[in-house]
Amino acid sequence: MSALPSVNNSHRRALGPIATPDRLLLGPGPSNAHPTVLQALARTPIGHLDPLYVELMGEVQELLRYAWQTDNRLTIPMSGTGSAAMEATLANTLEPGDKVLVAVKGYFGLRLVDMASRYRAEVVTIERPWGEAFTYEEIEAAVKLHRPAVLAMVHAETSTGICQPMDGIGDLCRSHDCLLLLDTVTSLGAVPVYLDDWKVDLAYSCSQKGLSCPPGLGPFTMGPRAEAKMAARQGKVPNWYLDVTLLNRYWGSDRVYHHTAPVNMNFGMREALRLLAEEGLEQAWARHRRNAERLWAGLEDLGLSLHAPEHLRLPTLTTVRIPEGVDGKAFCLHLLNAHGIEVGGGLGALAGKVWRIGLMGFNSQPENVDRLLELFRTELPAFHPGAASDRPAAVAV
Ligand SMILES: Cc1ncc(COP(=O)(O)O)c(C=O)c1O
């Protein structure tokens, strides 16, 4: 046997064991995972075709239906983040030339536009400023004008903190032979969502926000009307990994290998959904609302102003206007470095203008609200113009 060539060690590093700090994640996501979920993640993996795992898959699917309030047969946690599930909704239903109407009122609406155009759809948009929602009349006028095959919109816009009212939109879509696609990434498990009552045909979400898991799974669901459009496709779904028909041979009754499922992530998802069911959806929604209201009142008492009008505000994500002259980024860095708390900055049109505070899943607790408010009260004044010299020293944690 000939000698092996010598190994190139130039990328070799002698690292110590991982030592990430405990952070309190009060930004736009990920949120902290529930400790029970973290324990589930640390269990020894079992085979992805093991009968016990197959049983667990069924439990995850059934509890996702509960969380979404849907009877959809095709309800699957995609292996991938929310964006993978987002892409799956489009990849499976769109054919080149299909008209897609995207209602854009923030960053994630724009992502839907980009993705749909990659599947060669004819994309048309309607837009609202970042911090507003669409009225039913605006949606109705656009659907009547454009006659799209799909109307895509974001229920909970994480970039703005706005919750889109859904009244009547499903019926409108049905009467115009249009599928309704809804992003529920920042609402599932935390903000009321009634997919079947709202007549939503396609939806997706993520694991790392209202469900209190780490990032890594993208819940996906598809109703009968979307299934019918998928079944009538002329060509193959142009994305092998996200092809729901192939995936459903694994997640449906056949249990045929498709890809090696991230079994531990699904252990975590199973536990997260079990905890949600144990708490009860209405109770979880009410908890998110209560803690968000506590945060809103506290911020306003401090003289800060909230970007989203109260009737459209998301309990999961609060946008706070950065006061004139304050270096918002420096304050976020201070919270992170000195206190181990993550708060987000603005995205896109709101970059530099707002902070984004998330109270999602396990993190939606009054103690977290009070801790953050106290830091805003005691430490923000040092970040106002002219107060720089009083700034508390940032301590690395
Ligand atoms: C509303 C919304 N849609 C889609 C996504 C994309 O999800 P992910 O980052 O998990 O891929 C996010 C991420 O935060 C989001 O907030």
Q: How does residue 389 score in pLDDT terms, banded at 50, 70 and 90?
A: low
Determine the pLDDT at residue 163. 98
Ligand 1 pocket test, candidate residues 185, 204, 220, 342, most atoms within 8 A of CB: 185
- What residues does each domain of the chain span? 24-28+280-387, 35-278
pLDDT digits (tens, 9 = 90+) for 56-66: 999 999 999 99
Across residues 11-22, what is the average pLDDT? 96
Q: Kindly report the backbone phi and psi dihedral angles of residue 11, in degrees, each rounded to the nearest multiple of 5, phi listed first.
A: -100, 5
Residue among 48, 32, 51, 60 at smallest CA distance from 220: 60
Ligand 1 pocket test, candidate residues 83, 188, 319, most atoms within 8 A of CB: 83
Fold of 35-278: Aspartate Aminotransferase; domain 2 (3.40.640)
Q: Which CATH number fits the domain 24-28+280-387, given the four candidates 2.60.120.380, 3.40.50.720, 3.90.1150.10, 3.10.20.90?
A: 3.90.1150.10
Closest ligand 1 atom to residue 158 Cα is 16
Across residues 249-278, what is the average pLDDT? 95
Q: How does residue 388 score in pLDDT terms, banded at 50, 70 and 90?
A: low
CA of 299 to the centre of ligand 1 (A): 26
- For the cut 90, the answer to whether the pLDDT of residue 339 exceeds it is yes
Distances (CA, A) of 316 to 155, 290, 360: 12, 11, 5
CA of 242 to the centre of ligand 1 (A): 17
- Ligand 1 within 6 A of 108 CB? yes
Q: How does residue 13 score in pLDDT terms, banded at 50, 70 and 90?
A: very high
CA of 6 to the centre of ligand 1 (A): 44
Judge whether 209 and 191 are in contact, CB under 8 Å: no
Q: Kindly report the backbone phi and psi dihedral angles of residue 163, in degrees, each rounded to the nearest multiple of 5, phi listed first.
A: -105, 120
Ligand 1 pocket test, candidate residues 105, 157, 158, most atoms within 8 A of CB: 158
- Ligand 1 within 6 A of 154 CB? yes
- Ligand 1 within 6 A of 183 CB? yes
- Ligand 1 within 6 A of 106 CB? no
Pairing assessment for the beta strands 317-321 and 354-358 based on DSSP bridges: antiparallel
Determine the pLDDT at residue 396. 44
Closest ligand 1 atom to residue 157 Cα is 1
Determine the pLDDT at residue 392. 57
Tell me which residue has tokens 């229920």: 155
pLDDT digits (tens, 9 = 90+) for 299-311: 999 999 999 999 9
Determine the pLDDT at residue 262. 97
Q: How does residue 395 score in pLDDT terms, banded at 50, 70 and 90?
A: very low
Look at ligand 1, atom 7, and give the residue with the nearest C-alpha: 82
Judge whether 200 and 72 are in contact, CB under 8 Å: no
CA of 206 to the centre of ligand 1 (A): 7
Ligand 1 pocket test, candidate residues 87, 90, 193, 206, most atoms within 8 A of CB: 206
pLDDT digits (tens, 9 = 90+) for 178-192: 999 999 999 999 999
- Ligand 1 within 6 A of 86 CB? yes
Closest ligand 1 atom to residue 28 Cα is 14
Determine the pLDDT at residue 397. 38
- For the cut 90, the answer to whether the pLDDT of residue 386 exceeds it is no
CA of 185 to the centre of ligand 1 (A): 6
Mean pLDDT, the chain, as a whole number? 96
Across residues 256-271, what is the average pLDDT? 97
Residue among 328, 380, 335 at smallest CA distance from 352: 328
**Which class for 267: exposed (0-12), middle (13-18), buried (19 or more C-beta within 10 A)?**
buried
- Ligand 1 within 6 A of 207 CB? no
Determine the pLDDT at residue 391. 61
Determine the pLDDT at residue 111. 98
- Ligand 1 within 6 A of 81 CB? yes
- Ligand 1 within 6 A of 184 CB? no
3-state SS string for the chain = CCCCCCCCCCCCCCCCCCCCCCCEECCCCCCCCCHHHHHHHCCCCCCCCCHHHHHHHHHHHHHHHHHHCCCCCEEEEEECCHHHHHHHHHHHHCCCCCEEEEEECCHHHHHHHHHHHHCCCEEEEEECCECECCCHHHHHHHHHHHCCCEEEEECEECCCCEECCCCCHHHHHHHCCCEEEEECCCCCCCCCCCCCCCCCCEEECCCCCCCCCCCCEEEEEECHHHHHHHHCCCCCCCCCCCCHHHHHHHHCCCCCCCCCCCHHHHHHHHHHHHHHHHHCHHHHHHHHHHHHHHHHHHHHHCCCCECCCHHHECCCEEEEECCCCCCHHHHHHHHHHHHCEECEECCHHHCCCEEEEECCHHHCCHHHHHHHHHHHHHHHHHHCCCCHHHCCCCCCC
Q: Which residue has the higher pLDDT, 387 or 93?
A: 93
Share of the chain above pLDDT 70, in %: 97
CA of 83 to the centre of ligand 1 (A): 6
- Ligand 1 within 6 A of 115 CB? no
Across residues 157-167, what is the average pLDDT? 98
pLDDT digits (tens, 9 = 90+) for 193-217: 999 999 999 999 999 999 999 999 9
- For the cut 60, the answer to whether the pLDDT of residue 252 exceeds it is yes
